[in-house]
Chain A
């Protein structure tokens, strides 16, 4: 008896050591517990009837609504159009933002031109640009892609510039003494050195892209997941609102996981990566 007691004590101790690893099974228990308790709280709220069913549907009703939505091809086309917008806005931001960010992190002159202005614009909320974008680009696809682009671009640019400027200067010095010319220092040292961090940055920006997608679709759209949520609100179809939010969350999670796996597979040499 004494021994099992002591064992239990040491297990508790080992689970609460600061920044130390815990067994993988316990980690999974943690994940499971958080999701289950969220569902449980939701369920209890619903059972007790604190909130009216119209405002907070039961988990069962949401799952049922999710099920019927996923069987509906129309819902899938809403997902498709949203994913398309996110990727176009995100890709556009990457195509322009990454090269500019690398320039800003490499050359002080480029930094002086690019960074202070981006810092300034970054604080202007992308959502506030929507009326202006509608005036410029109407309410077509370009408008939504532009909102996502503006929301992501300046953040991405600044983060890439920061990643680039953090490349160990001794690596650059070493490559100079090994015969590298300026262009080769960029192409053979700076760019490969930032790749793992760049992937992490893109992963974060992808999260921003989803946020701006919904902003754009809530304000001005007649398709997409954001619009689906908007329309559901008009009909007080709260189940569908929950479905929309959950589906966006799941899509984000899937894309995030893909980035994480790619990072691990492409850059096994990176230090400190999980």
Chain B
């Protein structure tokens, strides 16, 4: 049984991200535009959750509000039981566009947040060494952004966010601009990192395969107005070591999601 339409009710203390009745209305020349319409969702501690939806459905807006980069129009957005009022080091974010600081080398990029915290150089080096190794860029510690490929830039962005030791990692289509091959290896790398670091991850994508491969739960969204149409359990052990082993179950889930997105 696919157990697709499931409304999970978690235990209070397990919840890391809790969004209830979130709406966002933009004022445009044409009038009011409802980007998000009463979105409610949650992410448990150490969980990997994906929001899947077509472009323009407002999924990035949810993430930007969570990061504190945008304000909500109404509703409640809580992380670790605290209402989000602005950006915080507790909520790291990886963007779709490359956001490496081009004037800093890879190591200094990773240490950017630590420097802001006023950490000593030796401490910083210890931490950046760890994350350089985690993302496999030890040899590129002294390289600048213009010398790196797209995949490598995103690896630095992930390392830079994690170095700050955030409670949650928000990822806004981080592999959207990468070629298929690089995308795949980055997905595997991200899963490995998630297992090692035990970070709570909320990931945004419009790629169905990516959502199924990465996440334990998937929220499917629709556009105009942006709404969550369904919550799916994707933690079905379809993959073993990155290889798809349960093809039938995978196809069934994928077909179901495609039919959801057609509406």
The residues of A with any CB-CB pair to B shorter than 8 Å are 168, 170-171, 173-180, 184, 188-189, 192-193, 195, 267-271
Contacts and interface: CB of A to CB of B under 8 A. Distances in A.
B225 interface: no
B200 interface: no
B102 A179 contact: no
Given A192-B101, A192-B103, A179 B113 contact: yes
Contacts of B161: 177-178
B102, B113, B164 — which one has the most chain A CB atoms within 10 A of its CB? B102
B144 A174 contact: no
A178 B112 contact: yes
Given A178-B113, A193-B103, A271-B102, A173 B146 contact: no
A173 B101 contact: no
Contacts of A267: 103
17 contacts: A173-B99, A174-B95, A174-B99, A175-B101, A177-B68, A177-B88, A177-B92, A177-B170, A178-B89, A178-B112, A178-B116, A179-B113, A188-B116, A195-B103, A270-B102, A271-B102, A271-B146
Contacts, number: 72
Contacts of A179: 87-89, 113, 116-117, 164
Interface string B81-93: 0000001110111
A171 B117 CA distance: 18
Interface in B133-152: 144-146
B87 A176 contact: yes
B229 interface: no
Contacts of A180: 116
Contacts of B113: 178-179
Contacts of A171: 99, 101
B55 interface: no
Nearest to A173: B69
A179 B102 CA distance: 18
Contacts of B157: 174
Nearest to A176: B87
Interface string B61-98: 00010011100000000000000000111011101010
Interface string B152-171: 00000100110010000010
Interface residues of B, number: 28
Contacts of B145: 269, 271
A195 B88 CA distance: 28
Contact of A170 (B68, B95, B170): B95
Contacts of A177: 67-69, 87-89, 91-93, 161, 170
B67, B103, B113, B160 — which one has the most chain A CB atoms within 10 A of its CB? B103
Given A177-B93, A178-B160, A269 B67 contact: no
Contacts of A192: 101, 103
Q: Which 3 A-B pairs rank lowest in CB-CB distance, beginning with the nearest? A: A178-B113, A174-B99, A176-B87
B48 to A, nearest CB: 19
Nearest to A180: B116
B153 to A, nearest CB: 12
A184 B97 CA distance: 22
A180 B92 CA distance: 12
B15 to A, nearest CB: 21
A171 B109 CA distance: 12
A170 B98 CA distance: 8
Given A168-B97, A176-B87, A177-B170, 12 more contacts: A173-B93, A176-B68, A177-B67, A177-B89, A178-B92, A178-B112, A178-B164, A179-B89, A179-B113, A189-B101, A193-B103, A268-B144
Contacts of A269: 102-103, 144-146
A174 to B, nearest CB: 4
Contacts of A168: 97, 99
B101 A170 contact: no
Contacts of A176: 67-69, 87
A176 B102 CA distance: 17
Contacts of B88: 177, 179
A264 to B, nearest CB: 14
